[in-house]
């Protein structure tokens, strides 16, 4: 799990976003407001910081923190996939810069939310607890083959079929109610990793469950075009991903919108209808420095990509 306290890739992100005083910065994943506070200092009192988060508690804390920096702040609670509606509600037509720092933040790992495998009270896992199905409801209902697919595709879970079977057997005896219960079922069914791994055997399964319950990849797929549509020409967008599936979606989208041909290799002429709307600012994905990884080990899987909008879109 990415239980991070310090904002990751801070300097690298703001070097790429190049915020100017007076600009409008939209933080799609306010979290605890670490990146957004830095943005508030850079855009200053003439600028504007918009905060969005699915997690009402994180958003509240981030709004308070960012407001102390002196830039005007507006906040919207909800899924960044609905970015257009959030910006309309906040009275913001276009942004100069947007950032999404994907994943979880520390508030969400507190007991009672079921995000940590130590949690003996809950298996909720929703980032937005006002809507949708909890992880317990999902797990007590999902089809075995579908669960195996989710564990395999999102978490690369060793023995995914065996783990799914163990979940179905356990829930036929009694419903699965807590994260600790789920983690114990996974630990009992998954093959032991070779060597002495310090990672809990349920780490990947917990992450897969969280990703499916929060529809994380489909939300990201909807958010990217919504963010690009609301960026002014010359505006910058940056994304920090922690999961290979998220990183791939971001890379593919930037490549497509910077006009990289998506046709099958060897195709005689280009028919993919490529557009040149973005220019990549990160020819190679940016990763945390060795120093950052040493003081913040959970940053090690972070991958940053950024791009600048160079043409009107949609036309």
Residue 114 makes contact with ligand SAM by CB under 6 A: no
Please measure the distance between the N-terminal and C-terminal CA atoms of the chain and give it in whole angstroms: 40
- Cβ proximity to ligand SAM: between 79 and 140 the closer is 79
Q: Among 91, 65, 96, which residue's Cα sits nearest to residue 76?
A: 91
The torsion angle over the Cα atoms of residues 311, 25, 239 and 214, rounded to 10 degrees, is -120
DSSP annotation of 286 reads B
Q: By rule CB under 6 A, what string of x and - marks binding of each residue 70-89 to ligand SAM?
A: ---------xxx--------
Which of 101, 119, 124, 292 touches ligand SAM by CB under 6 A? 101
Q: How far is the CB of 100 from ligand SAM (least distance, A)?
A: 8
- The residue ranges of DSSP E strands in the chain, in sequence order, are 24-27, 48-53, 73-77, 95-101, 231-241, 278-280, 303-309
Q: How far is the CB of 225 from ligand SAM (least distance, A)?
A: 14
Query: By CB under 6 A, which span of 100-108, 182-190, 225-233, 293-301 interacts with ligand SAM?
Result: 100-108
Q: How far is the CB of 2 from ligand SAM (least distance, A)?
A: 7
Is residue 127 within 8 Å of residue 118, measured between CB atoms?
no
- Cβ proximity to ligand SAM: between 33 and 235 the closer is 33
Which of positions 13-72 make contact with ligand SAM (CB under 6 A)?
29, 31-35, 52-55, 58
- Going from the C-alpha of 131 to that of each of 79, 108, 128, 164, the distances in angstroms are 11, 16, 6, 26
- Cβ proximity to ligand SAM: between 43 and 190 the closer is 43
Which of 75, 105, 147, 164 touches ligand SAM by CB under 6 A? 105
Is 177 exposed, middle or buried (CB count within 10 Å of its CB: 0-12, 13-18, 19+)? middle
Is residue 100 within 8 Å of residue 240, measured between CB atoms?
yes
- Going from the C-alpha of 238 to that of each of 35, 100, 254, the distances in angstroms are 12, 7, 10
Give the binding-site size for ligand SAM (rule: CB under 6 A): 21
- Taking the C-alpha atoms of residue 279 and residue 275, their distance in angstroms, rounded to an integer, is 11
- Cβ proximity to ligand SAM: between 130 and 315 the closer is 130
Q: How far is the CB of 128 from ligand SAM (least distance, A)?
A: 8
Q: Which residues contact 291 (CB under 8 A, 6 or more apart)?
A: none
Residue 288 makes contact with ligand SAM by CB under 6 A: no
Q: How far is the CB of 284 from ligand SAM (least distance, A)?
A: 22
- Taking the C-alpha atoms of residue 271 and residue 218, their distance in angstroms, rounded to an integer, is 26
Q: How far is the CB of 32 from ligand SAM (least distance, A)?
A: 4
Q: How far is the CB of 88 from ligand SAM (least distance, A)?
A: 16
Which of positions 203-242 make contact with ligand SAM (CB under 6 A)?
219
Residue 103 makes contact with ligand SAM by CB under 6 A: yes
- Taking the C-alpha atoms of residue 288 and residue 300, their distance in angstroms, rounded to an integer, is 7
Q: How far is the CB of 37 from ligand SAM (least distance, A)?
A: 8
- List residues binding ligand SAM (CB under 6 A): 7, 29, 31-35, 52-55, 58, 79-81, 101, 103-105, 127, 219
């Amino acid at each position: 799990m990415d239980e991070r306290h310090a904002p990751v890739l801070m300097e690298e992100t703001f070097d790429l976003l190049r915020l100017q005083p007076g600009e409008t910065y939209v933080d799609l994943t306010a979290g605890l407001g670490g990146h957004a506070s830095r943005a508030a200092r850079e855009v200053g009192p003439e600028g504007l910081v918009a905060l969005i988060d699915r997690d009402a508690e994180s958003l509240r804390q981030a709004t308070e923190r960012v407001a102390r920096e002196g830039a005007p702040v507006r906040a919207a609670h909800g899924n960044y996939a609905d970015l257009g509606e959030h910006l309309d509600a906040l009275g913001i037509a276009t942004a100069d810069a947007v950032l999404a720092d994907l994943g979880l933040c520390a508030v969400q790992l507190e007991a009672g939310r079921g995000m940590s495998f130590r949690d003996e009270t809950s298996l909720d896992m929703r980032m937005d607890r006002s809507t949708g199905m909890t992880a317990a409801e999902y797990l007590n209902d999902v089809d075995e083959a579908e669960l195996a697919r989710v564990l395999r595709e999102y978490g690369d879970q060793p023995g995914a079929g065996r783990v799914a079977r163990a979940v179905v057997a356990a829930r036929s005896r009694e419903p699965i109610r807590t994260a600790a219960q789920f983690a114990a079922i996974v630990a009992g069914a998954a093959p032991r990793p070779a060597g002495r791994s310090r990672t809990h055997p349920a780490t990947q399964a917990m992450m897969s469950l969280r990703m499916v319950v929060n529809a994380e990849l489909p939300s990201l797929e909807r958010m990217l075009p919504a963010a690009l549509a609301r960026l002014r020409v010359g505006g910058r967008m940056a994304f920090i991903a922690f999961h290979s599936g998220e990183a791939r979606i971001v890379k593919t989208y930037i490549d497509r919108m910077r006009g990289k041909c998506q046709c099958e290799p060897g195709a005689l002429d280009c028919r993919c209808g490529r557009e040149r709307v973005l220019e990549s600012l990160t020819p190679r994905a940016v990763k945390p420095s060795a120093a950052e990884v040493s003081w913040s080990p959970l940053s090690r899987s972070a991958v940053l990509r950024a791009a600048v909008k160079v043409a009107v879109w949609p036309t």
